């Protein structure tokens, strides 16, 4: 992941600067003129900066300041423990300080047991114990004695060197080799010269690692992501930043690739032992022996290990086992494309390496292509096109930028882009294909189908279609996600990086580079047209997606073309017109999604027995004939704008139907009664069928969850509800001709949402509706005479009368969560509203006669009263936002847009009110919106527009102590401009304002909202929470933008919100609280640069 050197100091940001490499601690009387002298000379000869104290101090003298500083500023302390070491209070005080530095400064301590055994030191026994006993007799300070004894015990427990009668010269060289490996570590310098976006990621991961107590456990960090996204680069940077804290370290590169060779794990085991111990003579006969040797040689040692590009769990297990035998504070870093591997190895700290954002990608690409952070003149648009193609993938950005370096011909760039859209560069393709090659065959088929046909579709949709093809998607799709080949959004959409889609399509193209008819899948419009018009189909073709660049493009279908494709299982036609309807459909078809089928019947050969999904758009079929009775595996039947279709026939022969969706069939009159009894039907939706009159009179489909009928004005009867319906939770019957609901509606005990909007003939709700105990949303907008309401969250929109009996109303709605009375004739919001203790959202927009809002429910969060032109009194606004005396502690959002008679004052504590509170996170982007023309004077950073034609404003804020900043409170004063058309209807006059916060080219947060252009100036206050990235001292850039010349942001302001402000309760103090009135004139000095 490459970057500009100036913006990322990499290792230097994290490396402690040591004055000395080694501090030598020894008993002068024992070893000064022999062993220690030889050891010191050997260390110096290897270029190791070694401190040795040669001063002979008087007995009992305290450690000097200079010696204390030498200990603290040394990277390693080598402690030579000889027989008389414990007889010196000087040596013991020195040792205690060394042990303290090991704990507090992450220094390394190497004990050298010279002619003594570690157990003698640990237990103060034998000759070493005699020296200790003599000292104890002379020292009366028990605290000091205990401190020295603890230091001896701790140093004896550390891994070190024992002479044990060995050749002294060889023994000294072993010590020197180990010290040299620590002070001259093999940092991973072969990292890209310029790094973009890396520093913040390294710091973020380091902060996460620091939350794990270093001395208590072995930390394991797993970094995963798609190939080429920068996992190895990040891992190397983290490795380098920690390197000086470890005596033992090893980087095992390309574990996956190495594992393809013979005796793979043995080779990796030997490399690990050689790199850490510096001994290449160790013999490993088999994997189990290697694992045992690693455990024996590294037992209790503090190790830094980077395993790069791991793809099999066995690779980690044969190298580290469960790694609980490593020394405390060890750090293991694993990079992989397979998130599941990290889960299986119980890695407790994982980091997904995401693609670069747009600003980072632009910097990287421009640096590679132009050796600058900006594109050359005339190349800005092409640069954006290449950025869109690369999709933030660092590998692609580097490869493409380097390829285009010093290419100054516009045509060259244009041709390169068009070529790569079809055929990616080999060095990108090869890198991305690694994950694909590791898939099983069914998983490969799923990947290719998604790449060619289904990317961007909902997971449920894709799963059902692939399941019909026999590809086991319930296991295959999770595996693709774990290997970073796909992502699944929060809304369930399957996405695939554009370069992965191109790679998948290139795999298919290479099945037959010269003849597209011999490939398994066709999607490129030129290939599709060639095969269909030239009759080049073969039995290799499994799927075709027709999506022509020209609207209603005509394909001159060659006779017999589809007969040559007997294995076709997916046929999707998005927009093509055919010169004649296909005369043949493969009986292997599972998905038939075809637009503009102009035949009056299906091909005679087609039995449809394997068909799972049938989508008919603009077909000319007059009826669903007898052939439909054979579609026994059909699950999804979608009919859109089939204008000649008059009747949905008996469907009892289709037992597996799960979704029946009919839309815009203008001549449809009847839906057969059998539809009401389809046992597996989950969704029944009929919309915009104006002539539909006959509908099942009885509904008893036990699997039904959603039931939608809309804009069917001729439909006058709602079906009776059977007892078998237990799962139905959403009914949406809008704009129909129904006059009443049946009493059997009470059978729907699981119903949560009932929408009956704009049913102008609906005159009665049965009392049984009160049995719907789980109902929380009822929409009766446009229904004029309903006065009995159940215990629900009600949605009463324009033209809906408020209830006349308030006591009955509150009794029914004790669990009300959301209330919409927009457009009603209310004059005063009644005081009994505060009885709705569960109410969180209240909507009163465009209540033109509303003058006063009294008490509000205690848990209210959002109040919207925009367009209430008569509103004069709303006491809770002042209590909450001016004086902070309100009991409504959860109220964080009020919209007073267009309430021209309202006077609003705001105190500085509003920053804490508008920022997110603990618990469930709500959308705070609305904030506070009201008529006004002035930035509050407690905003320190303000700016006034200097150009009435501009569409953005910038404020730069210096960060002096960024760690305490939680977010930013923003303020914008906006107004209509002369460009705002007076011809628009009032409710159409709206635009949007967006606010973006950037730091070092990275977006840390953004908010936006639609604003209606109603009359006078308005003020919008909103909180923008920043992403949890570690910030250094520097500048935040806050950009205010608006998307229309019909609006102008006149003033904007920024207030930094500190973390302690979050739930602060502030007293009213005239010195601290400053207020302002919306009627005040803007004074000089209130806003500025």
User: Which residues are annotated as catalytic?
Assistant: 94
* Spatial separation of the C-alpha atoms in residues 261 and 263, rounded to whole Å: 7
For residue 162 the two structure tokens come to 């024992």
In the Cβ-directed half-sphere of 129, how many Cα atoms lie within 13 Å?
A: 9
Can you give 484-511 as a three-state secondary structure string? CCCEECCCCEEECCHHHHHHHHHHHHCC
* Spatial separation of the C-alpha atoms in residues 747 and 982, rounded to whole Å: 51
Beta strands 990-999; 1002-1012: pairing state? antiparallel
Sort 711 into a burial class: Cβ within 10 Å, 0-12 / 13-18 / 19+.
middle
* Spatial separation of the C-alpha atoms in residues 184 and 249, rounded to whole Å: 11
* Spatial separation of the C-alpha atoms in residues 48 and 52, rounded to whole Å: 12
Torsion angle in degrees (nearest 10) through CA of 476, 480, 486, 490 = 70
For residue 455 the two structure tokens come to 């990317």
One-character DSSP codes across 391-437: TT-HHHHHHHHHHHTT---HHHHHHHHHHHHHS--HHHHHHHHHHHH
State the CB neighbour count (10 A cutoff) for residue 1065. Answer: 8
Can you give 688-734 as a three-state secondary structure string? CCCCCCECCCEECCCCCCEEEEECCCCCCCCCEECCCCCCCCEEEEE
Residues 6+ apart with CB under 8 A from 1070: none
Residues 6+ apart with CB under 8 A from 677: 652, 696, 698, 700, 701
* Spatial separation of the C-alpha atoms in residues 602 and 619, rounded to whole Å: 10
Sort 670 into a burial class: Cβ within 10 Å, 0-12 / 13-18 / 19+.
middle
> Helix crossing, 473-482 with 459-468: angle to 10°?
130
Q: Where are the alpha helices (DSSP H) in 763-904?
A: 806-812, 875-881
CA 240 to chain centre: 27
Contact, 40 vs 73, CB < 8 A?
A: no
Beta strands 349-352; 720-721: pairing state? unpaired
Contact, 257 vs 309, CB < 8 A?
A: yes
State the CB neighbour count (10 A cutoff) for residue 1075. Answer: 16
> Which of 238, 215, 229, 364 shows the shortest CA–CA distance to 302?
215
- Beta-bridged to residue 555, according to DSSP, are 578
State the CB neighbour count (10 A cutoff) for residue 143. Answer: 7
- Beta-bridged to residue 603, according to DSSP, are none
Contact, 705 vs 728, CB < 8 A?
A: yes
> Which of 221, 220, 239, 248 shows the shortest CA–CA distance to 158?
248
For residue 3 the two structure tokens come to 């970057």
State the CB neighbour count (10 A cutoff) for residue 309. Answer: 22
Q: Scanning the structure block, which residue is given the tokens 């399957």? A: 494
Q: Quick one: DSSP state of residue 1007?
A: E
The Cα-based distances of 1038 to 7, 965, 1035, 1052 in angstroms read 20, 15, 10, 10
């Amino acid at each position: 992941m490459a970057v500009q050197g100036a913006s990322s100091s990499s290792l230097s940001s994290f490396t402690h600067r040591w004055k000395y490499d080694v501090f030598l601690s020894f008993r002068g009387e024992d070893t000064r003129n022999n062993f220690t002298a030889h050891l010191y000379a050997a260390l110096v000869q290897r270029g190791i900066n070694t401190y040795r104290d040669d001063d002979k101090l008087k007995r009992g003298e305290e450690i000097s300041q200079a010696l204390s500083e030498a200990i603290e500023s040394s990277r390693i302390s080598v402690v030579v423990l000889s027989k008389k070491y414990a007889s010196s209070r000087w040596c013991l005080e020195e040792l205690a300080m060394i042990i303290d530095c090991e704990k507090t400064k992450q220094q390394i301590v190497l004990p050298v047991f010279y002619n003594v055994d570690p157990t003698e030191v640990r237990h103060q026994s034998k000759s070493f114990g005699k020296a200790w006993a003599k000292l104890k007799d002379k020292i009366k300070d028990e605290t000091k004695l205990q401190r020295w004894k603890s230091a001896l015990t701790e140093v004896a427990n550390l891994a070190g060197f024992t002479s044990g009668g060995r050749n002294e010269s060889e023994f000294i060289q072993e010590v020197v080799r180990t010290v040299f490996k620590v002070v001259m570590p093999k940092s991973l310098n072969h990292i890209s010269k310029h790094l973009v976006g890396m520093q913040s990621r390294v710091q973020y991961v380091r902060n996460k690692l620091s939350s794990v107590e270093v001395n208590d456990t072995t930390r394991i960090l797993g970094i995963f992501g798609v190939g080429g996204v920068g996992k190895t680069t990040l891992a190397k940077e983290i490795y380098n930043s920690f390197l000086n804290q470890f005596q033992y370290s090893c980087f095992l590169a390309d574990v996956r690739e190495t594992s393809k060779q013979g005796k793979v794990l043995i080779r990796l085991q030997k490399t690990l032992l050689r790199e850490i111990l510096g001994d290449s003579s160790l013999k490993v006969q088999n994997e189990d022996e290697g694992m045992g040797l690693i455990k024996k040689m590294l037992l209790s040692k503090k190790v830094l290990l980077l395993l790069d590009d791991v793809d099999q769990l066995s690779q980690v297990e044969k190298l580290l086992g469960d790694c609980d035998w490593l020394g405390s504070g060890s750090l293991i870093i694993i990079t992989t494309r397979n998130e599941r591997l990290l889960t299986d190895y119980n890695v407790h700290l994982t980091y997904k390496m995401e693609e670069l954002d747009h600003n980072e990608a632009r910097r990287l690409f421009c640096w590679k292509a132009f050796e600058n952070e900006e594109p050359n003149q005339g190349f800005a648009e092409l640069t954006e096109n290449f950025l869109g193609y690369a999709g933030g993938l660092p590998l692609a950005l580097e490869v493409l930028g380097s390829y285009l370096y010093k290419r100054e011909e516009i045509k060259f760039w244009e041709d390169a882009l068009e070529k790569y859209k079809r055929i990616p560069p080999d060095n990108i393709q090869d890198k991305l294909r690694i994950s694909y090659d590791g898939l099983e065959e069914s998983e490969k088929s799923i990947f290719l189908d998604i790449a060619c046909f289904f990317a961007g579709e909902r997971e449920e949709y894709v799963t059902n279609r692939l399941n019909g093809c026999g590809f086991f998607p319930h296991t295959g799709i999770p595996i693709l996600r774990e290997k970073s080949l796909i992502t699944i959004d929060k809304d369930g959409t399957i996405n695939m990086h554009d370069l992965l889609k191109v790679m998948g399509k290139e795999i298919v193209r290479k099945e037959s580079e010269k003849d597209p008819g011999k490939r398994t899948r066709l999607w490129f419009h030129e290939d599709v047209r060639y095969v269909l018009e030239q009759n080049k189909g073969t039995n290799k073709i499994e799927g075709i997606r027709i999506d022509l660049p020209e609207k209603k493009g005509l394909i001159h279908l060659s006779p017999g073309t589809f007969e040559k494709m007997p294995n076709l299982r997916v046929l999707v036609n998005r927009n093509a017109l055919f010169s004649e309807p296909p005369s043949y459909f493969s009986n292997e078809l599972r998905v038939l999604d075809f637009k503009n089928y102009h035949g009056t019947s299906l091909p005679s050969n087609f039995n449809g027995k394997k068909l799972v999904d049938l989508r008919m758009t603009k077909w000319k079929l007059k009826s669903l004939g007898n052939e439909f009775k054979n579609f026994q595996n059909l699950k999804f039947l979608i009919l859109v704008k089939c204008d000649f279709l008059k009747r949905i026939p008996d469907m009892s022969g289709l037992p597996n139907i799960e979704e029946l969706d009919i839309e815009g069939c203008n001549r449809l009159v009847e839906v057969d009664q059998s539809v009401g009894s389809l046992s597996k039907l989950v969704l029944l939706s009929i919309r915009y069928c104006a002539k539909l009159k006959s509908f099942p009179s009885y509904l008893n489909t036990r699997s039904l969850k959603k039931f939608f009928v809309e804009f069917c004005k001729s439909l006058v009867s709602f079906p009776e509800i059977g007892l078998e319906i237990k799962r139905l939770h959403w009914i949406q019957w809008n704009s129909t001709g129904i006059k009443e609901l049946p009493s059997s509606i009470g059978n729907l005990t699981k119903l949560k949402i009932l929408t009956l909007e704009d049913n102008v003939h609906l005159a009665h709700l049965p009392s049984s509706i009160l049995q719907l105990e789980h109902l929380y949303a009822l929409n009766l907008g446009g229904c004029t005479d309903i006065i009995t309401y159940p215990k629900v969250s009600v949605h009463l929109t324009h033209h809906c009368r408020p209830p006349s009996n308030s006591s009955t109303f509150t009794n029914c709605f004790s669990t009300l969560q959301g209330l919409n009375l927009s457009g009603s004739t209310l004059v005063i919001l009644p005081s009994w509203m505060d009885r709705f203790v569960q109410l969180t959202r209240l909507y009163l927009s465009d209540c033109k006669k509303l003058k006063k809002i009294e008490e509000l429910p205690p848990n209210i969060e959002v109040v919207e009263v925009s367009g209430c032109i008569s509103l004069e009194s709303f006491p809770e606004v002042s209590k909450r936002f001016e004086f902070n005396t309100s009991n409504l502690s959860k109220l964080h959002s009020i919209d007073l847009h267009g309430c021209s008679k309202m006077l609003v004052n705001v105190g500085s504590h509003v920053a804490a009110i508008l920022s997110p509170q603990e618990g469930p996170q709500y959308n705070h982007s609305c904030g506070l919106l009201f008529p006004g023309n002035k930035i509050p004077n407690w905003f320190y950073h303000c700016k006034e527009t200097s150009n009435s034609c501009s569409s953005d404003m910038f404020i730069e804020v210096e960060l002096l102590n960024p760690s305490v900043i939680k977010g930013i409170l923003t303020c914008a004063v906006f107004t209509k401009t002369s460009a705002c058309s007076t011809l628009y209807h009032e409710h159409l006059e709206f635009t949007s304002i967006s606010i973006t916060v950037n730091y070092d080219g990275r977006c840390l947060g953004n908010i936006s909202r639609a604003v209606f252009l109603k009359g006078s100036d308005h003020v919008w206050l909103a909180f923008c929470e920043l992403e949890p990235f570690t910030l250094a001292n520097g500048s935040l850039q806050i950009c205010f933008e608006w998307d229309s010349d019909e609006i102008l942001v006149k003033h904007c302001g920024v207030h930094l919100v500190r973390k302690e402000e979050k739930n602060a309760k502030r007293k009213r103090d005239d010195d601290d609280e400053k207020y302002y009135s919306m009627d005040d004139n803007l004074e000089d000095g209130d806003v500025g640069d």
